[in-house]
Structure 1
Amino acid sequence: MAEPVRRPLALVLAAIAVLAVLVGVVSCARGNSEDVGEGHGLPKYYAAADLLTAVTRRQQADRTALLRLSGRVDAAQGVPTELGGDGVLRVEQGGGVSAQFTQTLSAPGADAQSAAFVVLPGGQVWRQAGGGWTRVDEAATGTAEKTLATTAANVVAGADPTAHLTRYRDAALVADAADDTVDGVPAVRYLVVVDLVRAAELEQDAATREALQEQAASGTTRISSTLWVDAANRPLRSETRQAMPGIGTLALTSEYRDWGTPVAIASPGSAA
């Protein structure tokens, strides 16, 4: 029988991990724009429109990638939990993104917990349970399930690699763009800052606006992320750090490999 506390926490952190990963890929900003070749000569984009166009065109051509997650959760109360995971993602031709990954949570003195998740376009988040898939209940009213449902809603918002860039472009800025390398590959490292107060003011969806307002009210008024992009405008790595009210702080590194490699993603909705 599953432990009543660990299971909901694992689901919450898994959903947040997906959000963090996909926000890290696309959270960029509108501003002054330049294409500048410096250092190893890669172009640099300082405006949301330019970066969005470059990354979107590349992702529409490649469509798929392998995904690796690593990080930790520093709990508000309790010991840190290490996080790891491997999976795949696919940019769908009709819009949106599908992703599937297995996440492992490891707390000192406790057995590691692993669970598989699938995120589908249109707001569906599924977890593997027993021999099949169970959809995350977004309408749940229980405390733990409501937390999971709120997280799932944010996962939906971040599932499309271009959705957050389009939605929050007027609330964010590219604070820095510098030459760097990722595993020996020349890249440009972008530092992106999102103003959550401004994002809430611009948000049209009431539920999302309320979530942003609550996060800003908790003291987290800005979210910073770092994104590495190669010479072909493929995302290679992202790093994020985000406060999770009532849970702790998530620090996550996401790595993207083998863009264009065929991947297999389960279709649990067909059996629902």
Structure 2
Amino acid sequence: MRERGRGQGKGAGTLVLIAFALLAVLASVVSCARGNSDETVVPGLPKYYATADLLTAVSTRRNTDRTAVLRLTGQLDAAGTPAEVVGDGALRVEQGGGVSARFTQTVTVGGRAQSSAMVVRPGGQVFQQVAGVWTRIDEAPTGTTEKQWATVAVNLTDTADPTANLAHFREAALVADAVDDTVAGMPAVRYLVVVDLVRAADQEPDPAVRAALTEQVQRGLTRISSTLWIDAANRPLRSESRQTLPGLGELTVTADYRDWGTPVSIPEPEATT
């Protein structure tokens, strides 16, 4: 799901990071430009028009399946220098509700690609594998290469959790649209969810997040939107997001999901660091 939000068992620090990334979104509505004009849309899939119903349906299915294979693609526009970002891996919903993910994160700038194996644990812990050794990098100093890798990895993982934003801003969100669509030839319903930032600020219990929300509202950004495709069994097939990472630039990401419920392998780097 789009723009960041938490509420799935993650720490307050991660919530702040997610919210700050969310609230810097430069466009109020995400483009649904991934057309399917050459595909046959199959109508009649169940649709949810209440935010609580959509969240319950997707969360229940996600928590039942617990695992999925991921393909993350996007672009980071850092100070006018575009960088392509790709992540191939898997996610797992943990017993406490948080999400763990592992993927090979590749960033390409000016034709030069740099890849790194990453593991993100609930609470925003980020581990990077260098020369076969896992090192925790989310606590690296701001401005360092390690911190930048960690920031991108956390936001990719947040994007990979299709219920994070919806859960955190559930009382300030509404389902603006629900239409039949297809993803890779599979029938789906495409949801456009809009978050009212004025209401979100009024209801936000975290002072730092509330201050960030209020600042964005004062600057004229009064709502943010996200897009989610789910199949007939309420399994997420795709999500799209656009957000600004402080000090890095605007990150646009599409997350594609497949093989829900199949076994995946995610390292436990805290045991090997």
TM range (shorter): 0.7 to 0.9
Per-residue displacement from partner, 1:8-63 (whole Å, max 9, x unpaired)?
xxxxxxx98xx88xxxxxxxxxxxxxxxxx96211111112111111112112211
2:263 maps to what in 1?
262
Deviations 1:41-91 (A, max 9, x none): 11111112111111112112211100001121223x332111111010011
Quote the offset at 1:233 in angstroms: 0.1
Residues 1-272 of structure 1: pairs in structure 2 closer than 5 A: 40-75=43-78, 77-108=79-110, 110-138=111-139, 142-144=142-144, 162-213=163-214, 220-272=221-273
Distance 1:258 1:142, change over 3 A: closer
Structural RMSD (CA):
3.2
Alpha carbons of structure 1 residues 260 and 95: separation in structure 2 relative to 1, 3 Å: same
**1:262 to 1:52, Cα distance in 2 relative to 1, 3 A:** same
d(CA) in 2 for partners of 1:143, 1:214: 24
| Partners of 1:158 and 1:204 in 2: CA distance | 23
Report the TM-score, using the length of structure 1 for normalisation: 0.74
Q: TM-score, normalised by structure 2?
A: 0.74
AA paired with 2:223?
Answer: R
CA displacement, residues 100-135 of structure 1 (integer Å, 9 cap, x when unaligned): 111111122x42011122111244222222322111
Q: 1:191-212 deviations in whole A, cap 9, x for unaligned?
A: 1122334333322223444454
Deviations 1:207-260 (A, max 9, x none): 444454565566654332211000000000011122334432222111000101
Contact 1:67 1:254 survives alignment (8 Å):
yes
Please list every run of 5 or more consecutive structure 1 residues that lacks an aligned counterpart in the other structure.
1-14, 21-37
What is the aligned length? Answer: 236
Aligned position for 2:35: none
**1:81–1:156 distance in 2 versus 1, CA, 3 Å:** closer
% identity of equivalent residues: 64
Counterparts of 1:157 and 1:82 in 2: how far apart (Å)? Answer: 18
- Asked whether the 8 Å contact 2:125–2:138 carries over to 1, the reply is no
Partner of 1:4: none
CA contact (8 A) 2:101 2:157 kept: no
Relative to structure 1, the CA distance from residue 150 to residue 260 in structure 2 (aligned partners, 3 Å threshold; closer, same or farther) is closer
Looking at structure 1, the residues matched to 252 and 155 of structure 2 have their Cα atoms a distance apart, in angstroms, of 17
Which range moved further: 244-253 or 202-211?
202-211
CA distance 1:234–1:53, shift in 2 (3 Å): same
- On the 8 A contact 1:96/1:161 being kept in 2, the answer is no
| Distance verdict in 2 for CA 1:143–1:211, change over 3 Å | farther
